[in-house]
Structure 1
Amino acid sequence: MARRPWTAHELLDLVLDAGSFESWDEPIDISGQPEAYRLQLEAAAARAGTDESVLTGRGLVRGRPVAVVVNEFRFLAGSIGRAAAERITAAVRRATAEGLPVLASTASGGTRMQEGTPAFVHMVEISRALMAHRAARLPYLVHLRHPTTGGVYASWGSLGHVTVAEPGALVGFLGPKVYEALNGEPFPAGVQTAENLAAKGVLDAVVAAEDLPMLVDRALGVLVDGPTVPRFDRRDGEPSGHLSTWESIEDTRRPGRAGVRELLRHGATGTLRLNGTDEGERDSTMLVALTRLDGQPCVLVGQDRARQSPTSPMGPGALREARRAMRLAEELGMPLVTVIDTPGAELSARAEEGAIAGEIARCIATLTTMTVPTVSVVLGQGCGGGALALLPAHEVIAAEHAWLSPLPPEGASAIVHGDVTHAAEMAELQQVGVLDLAARGIVSRIVPEPPDDTAPALAVAVVAECAAALRRQTQPHSSPTRELRRVLRG
């Protein structure tokens, strides 16, 4: 049997540390409202146990201070009138002034119809306050409850850095009842559900209210808490050189080699996976996460080699997910780590029409203009423009057997020799190996891979090197290398 919907007070008690909630709400004056509407407001207050459809204040989530904005659906279907809108706006502005993250939990039918356009346009002021909050590099987390529709979803419900929804929640711009009344037919089933929107890359995850404290704790553990003492040792010494360039390329293609998932599994803590572009596009070949690499908080975006195949190549949507990660890092003032491991971007009519070339260009342009610390890790295959899209960080680290090439060596062989049998020769000629990359200043540090290396050990070694690079860049008066940018500028 499904649980009845959470009330605003119940949600505050569930998510916030016991006894930590402090209300920021001033009493609502309804004396000037028309009598019929005033009676509705009084009845709604009696039914809901709140004086409006929104409660705001501050509290602690596992010891961290956070501002909260919580809808009460029992108050006129959680609709937002002028008083509620002004309450939300005031709370967000106060959170900005006090340097607090904001957690919003919505459950609303949208703008309050009894107040019409004056209430409707107040959604702009809420959005304005939230953008000022984001401009102050403060986190905004959103939890969408059942139902969240209309102007609430189209304003403060869709501006989160991280956005999740409760299981089975109806989430949509146009309420299905309104759609049916206007069009004479029901809205297509299953579209406006939390699960479908997460699958389409609109939402980051489906999260039950009971799990919300854990999600907030994990997000703020990366976005708010500082670095911790490193646990891993860096690998000293020079690359072993026991494989030729072609043998290294073959090694990066074997199934058991460490990928971005191994970096997170063996070298990261407190990881919170994000999903899609949050604009309705999702590509599983790109992985985005808030995480801590050997104690260093960062936004990580990596090409997931395990999800790339001839039938599932890395398309333009994956690069748009990468740009979302870049925007998050820059906006929140977080270090960014990019992980390169791709046999190449998608080559198809669909990719061309999806602006694959433009997305590569925009990724490069974004990375080269970022002001936060950035580290790029060439972990395995570094093929073509898809690899270049994540390369130009302040520091570039590479595993010993990783490589970077305009085309697969087989492709270069086909162009030059008319066959693929000269791939190994072309790999040497084109200087795709990391020793050549380091010699030209493209790579600043090589992580050795001894003959007996294992995937977990390599993952930890790469994470240790990556964390060291982040520490160098985040220390006061540090001077991170920008050699790659110099090379690209010529």
Structure 2
Amino acid sequence: MADSKTDKTARHARERKGWLTRLRPGVRRDNGQKGGETPENLWVKCPETGEMIYRPDLEAALWVTPSGHHMRIGAAARLRITFDGGQFEKIASPVVVEDPLGFPDERPYKERLAAARRATGEQDSMAIGFGKIAGQPTVVIVQDFAFMGGSLGMGAGETFVKAAQEAVARQAPLVIFTASGGARMQEGTLSLMQMARSTLAVNEVKAAGLPYVVVLTDPTTGGVLASYAMLGDIHLAEPKATIGFSGRRVIEQTIRETLPAAFQKSEFLVERGMIDRVATRAEIPAVLGNILETLMMGRARRAA
């Protein structure tokens, strides 16, 4: 009797321990944890609702929560879900002088750059990929907000210029996914100069008769919005993305009025003609494919 009771208790313990296995087969795969423990980041909290979401399910949903909130994603993930079959050629970003101003801060600027590179795996806040979107060869730039707030500095500016040059050399459209808090203060005026340089680079793409399409993601603000983010032939945006030059609180304090709840959100801007369409993350590759095919059609006729 005692042995039977012991066996029953042990069986119940195993069943309790294996509830995640029943919920999702394979969840207890080897994650480098001792004793087969589940990783600490297996569940992700939705920033909008506070709901805890099973990470593999969130990844399968392209990091869009059940409530429809589009979480921020890095450059590698963005490039992978944008190009056909997740296949693309990574184009290296140019190397620039680090900390050209010797900027004094609570933490040395070079240390901030090193930490951002370790966290994101990218050289700077922009990354370039070349591949096909719905069969159309395209150069894509992705801005990563996780890299110092996606800030625009010399490294990002040089990357943008190189992407534009690649688009012209390959006779391919240029697409950018923006996500930025604006210019990088640690580079002062040198960062502001990138607004003008990126604008000239866009002009070179357009002078070559190639499309330049912008996809605005959360958030796109400051000097980035005041330059290349608003120079596209077509402007798309992800749902509920914050898009604006100055912050909401700054504007309210300046005009001494309370702004609408949806102010500076992508849906608000579509209604007022600032952007062309809001598209979900899952829709964007197909929408881009249709746009690029249409815009490149005239070029094909001219070439013929």
* TM-score, length of structure 1 as denominator length: 0.44
Structure 1: unaligned runs, 5 residues or longer:
226-331, 336-473, 477-490
The alignment of Structure 1 onto Structure 2 pairs a total of residues equal to 232
Q: Is the 8 A contact 1:179 1:186 kept in 2?
A: no
Aligned equivalents of 1:36, 1:475: Cα separation in 2: 52
Match of 2:201 among 129, 135, 148: 129
Q: Is the 8 A contact 1:154 1:173 kept in 2?
A: yes
Pair member with larger Rg: 1
Kindly report the root-mean-square deviation, in angstroms, between the aligned alpha carbons of the 2 structures: 2.5
Does 2:228 match 1:161?
A: no
Tell me by how many angstroms 1:46 deviates: 2.1
Residue matched to 1:8: 75
Residue matched to 1:22: 89
CA 1:117–1:67: 2 relative to 1, 3 Å: same
Does 2:162 match 1:90?
A: yes
Aligned equivalents of 1:112, 1:132: Cα separation in 2: 25
Moved more, 18-27 or 114-123: 18-27
Aligned equivalents of 1:54, 1:475: Cα separation in 2: 32
Residue matched to 1:152: 224
Match of 1:54 among 117, 126, 129: 126
Q: Is the 8 A contact 2:120 2:146 kept in 1?
A: yes
Tell me by how many angstroms 1:185 deviates: 7.3
CA 1:475–1:86: 2 relative to 1, 3 Å: closer
SS in 1 for 2:264: coil
SS in 2 for 1:202: coil
Aligned equivalents of 2:117, 2:251: Cα separation in 1: 29
SS in 1 for 2:85: coil
Aligned equivalents of 1:178, 1:44: Cα separation in 2: 28
Tell me by how many angstroms 1:130 deviates: 0.4
Residue matched to 1:142: 214
Aligned equivalents of 2:97, 2:250: Cα separation in 1: 28
* Aligned residues with identical type, % of pairs: 35
Matched residue type, 1:11: R
Q: 1:361-408: per-residue Cα shift (whole Å, max 9, x none)?
A: xxxxxxxxxxxxxxxxxxxxxxxxxxxxxxxxxxxxxxxxxxxxxxxx
Tell me by how many angstroms 1:173 deviates: 1.3
Greater length-normalized contact order (CA 8 Å, ≥ 6 residues apart): 2
CA 1:180–1:77: 2 relative to 1, 3 Å: farther
Aligned equivalents of 1:129, 1:163: Cα separation in 2: 18
Does 2:139 match 1:72?
A: no
Tell me by how many angstroms 1:179 deviates: 4.1
Q: Is the 8 A contact 1:109 1:149 kept in 2?
A: yes
CA 1:217–1:49: 2 relative to 1, 3 Å: same
Does 2:108 match 1:36?
A: yes
Aligned equivalents of 1:92, 1:124: Cα separation in 2: 14
Tell me by how many angstroms 1:169 deviates: 0.5
Structure 2: unaligned runs, 5 residues or longer:
1-66
* TM-score, length of structure 2 as denominator length: 0.69
Residue matched to 1:220: 292
Matched residue type, 2:123: D
